[in-house]
């Protein structure tokens, strides 16, 4: 729904988009392009959380001489930004394939398209692997990383308003005297942080989706700035808030589960290490 709302035409609001996809493509329409993200989600998340934690420990050790010292706001900001940069390197090709697969059913309104393989109603890509291989053959490495600038502008600040609010909410809702937050506190803080992050990142998420969807049937945008200007000139400021509801709603459960899994995994590994090395 998010991709269709942001890069598509004629879907209206979230409910109308939902009904349109269901009528035209049945239930399977909601799962297009999901195989690639599902296959790589664990890798991306583990790398992001690992880079964030490692950078944070490195900075606290560098500044205070002890990695166990509580990180400052500056340390968390730098660590979040580094995690965002690393994430873009992994997630850009994944997001591109997902977006292309989801948008190849988008009705094309130009009258000058005559080639059947790229006309509406004809699938340009047969699946995730075919999509990746086709883009790589036709556009090279640069094509696989289409939308990198937009993703950097989305993910670098996005991870800052992801990890920092999480840490703040955890501290706020954890009772005094408790060493670590409870699983419920982690779940709640992670969900709130995810909703905030995805909500605030929606404008650049719209730009990212449009740039990556561009190329299924034609190339409309010359770059990130051109996409921003064209979108604003054609549809006004409101275009940058398309998919806000979907992003905010989905941000809560996915991030809540992500942080809870991360914290429980850390506790389990620390417990095993303690039992192995008493």
Residue 251 lies in a domain: no
pLDDT digit string (tens) for 124-141? Answer: 777 888 889 988 998 899
Domain residues for 192? 1-242
* pLDDT > 60? residue 121: no
| Dist. CA 126–CA 261, nearest whole Å | 34
Residue 27 lies in a domain: yes
Q: Of the given ranges (185-194, 196-205, 209-218, 238-247), which has the lowest mean pLDDT?
A: 209-218
- pLDDT band at 12; cut points 50, 70, 90: confident
Residue 252 lies in a domain: no
Query: What is the pLDDT at residue 41?
Result: 80
Q: Please, is 85 exposed, middle or buried when counting C-beta atoms within 10 Å of its C-beta (0-12, 13-18, 19+)?
A: middle
| Dist. CA 72–CA 56, nearest whole Å | 9
- Cβ atoms of residues 119 and 108 within 8 Å: yes
Residue 277 lies in a domain: no
- 87: which residues sit within 8 A by CB, 6+ positions away? 44, 47, 48, 155, 159
Residue 177 lies in a domain: yes
Query: What is the pLDDT at residue 219?
Result: 79
pLDDT digit string (tens) for 177-195? Answer: 777 888 999 999 999 999 9
Query: Angle at which helices 244-276 and 35-64 pack, to 10 degrees?
Result: 60
Query: What is the pLDDT at residue 272?
Result: 60
Q: What angle do CA 180, 184, 185 make, to 5 degrees?
A: 50
> DSSP letters of 219-231?
---SSHHHHHHHH
- Mean pLDDT, residues 56-80: 87
Residue 274 lies in a domain: no
| Dist. CA 195–CA 38, nearest whole Å | 20
- Cβ atoms of residues 164 and 80 within 8 Å: yes
- Mean pLDDT, residues 237-260: 92
Query: What is the pLDDT at residue 115?
Result: 37
| Dist. CA 132–CA 116, nearest whole Å | 21
The residue with greater pLDDT, 6 or 118, is 6
- pLDDT band at 3; cut points 50, 70, 90: confident
The residue with greater pLDDT, 215 or 6, is 6
The count of other CB atoms within 10 Å of the CB of residue 12 is: 11
For residue 108 the two structure tokens come to: 């094309």
Query: What is the pLDDT at residue 248?
Result: 93
Using DSSP's 3-state secondary structure scheme, residue 106 falls into coil
Residue 134 lies in a domain: yes
Query: What is the pLDDT at residue 108?
Result: 40
Total count of domains within the chain: 1
Mean pLDDT over each residue of the chain, to the nearest integer:
83
* pLDDT > 60? residue 68: yes
| Dist. CA 199–CA 162, nearest whole Å | 11
Q: Of the given ranges (73-77, 192-196, 206-210, 211-215), which has the lowest mean pLDDT?
A: 211-215
Query: What is the pLDDT at residue 267?
Result: 83
Query: Angle at which helices 183-200 and 148-173 pack, to 10 degrees?
Result: 150
* pLDDT > 90? residue 111: no
Instruction: Look up the CATH number of the domain holding residue 144.
Output: 1.50.40.10
Query: What is the pLDDT at residue 152?
Result: 96
Residue 257 lies in a domain: no
């Amino acid at each position: 729904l998010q991709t269709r709302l942001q890069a598509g035409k004629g879907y209206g609001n979230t409910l109308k988009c939902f009904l349109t996809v269901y009528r035209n493509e049945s239930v399977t329409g909601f799962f297009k392009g999901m195989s690639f993200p599902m296959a790589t989600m664990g890798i991306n998340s583990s790398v992001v959380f690992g880079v964030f934690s490692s950078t944070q420990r490195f900075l606290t050790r560098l500044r205070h001489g002890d990695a166990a010292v509580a990180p400052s706001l500056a340390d968390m900001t730098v660590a979040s930004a580094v995690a965002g940069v690393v994430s873009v390197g992994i997630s850009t090709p994944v997001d591109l394939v997902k977006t292309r697969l989801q948008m190849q059913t988008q009705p094309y309104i130009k009258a000058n398209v005559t080639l059947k393989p790229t006309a509406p109603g004809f699938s340009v890509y047969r699946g995730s692997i075919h999509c990746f291989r086709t883009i790589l053959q036709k556009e090279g490495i640069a094509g696989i990383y289409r939308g990198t600038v937009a993703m950097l502008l989305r993910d670098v600040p996005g991870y800052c308003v992801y990890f920092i609010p999480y840490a703040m909410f955890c501290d706020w809702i954890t009772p005094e005297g408790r060493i670590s937050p409870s699983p419920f506190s982690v779940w709640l803080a992670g969900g709130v942080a995810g909703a905030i992050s995805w909500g605030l990142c929606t404008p650049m998420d719209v730009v990212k989706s449009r740039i990556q969807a561009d190329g299924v049937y034609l190339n409309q945008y010359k770059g990130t700035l051109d996409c921003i200007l064209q979108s604003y000139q054609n549809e006004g400021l409101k275009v940058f808030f398309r998919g806000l509801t979907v992003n905010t709603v989905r941000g809560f459960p996915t991030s809540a589960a992500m942080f809870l899994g991360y914290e429980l995994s850390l506790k389990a590994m620390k417990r095993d290490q303690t039992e192995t090395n008493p």
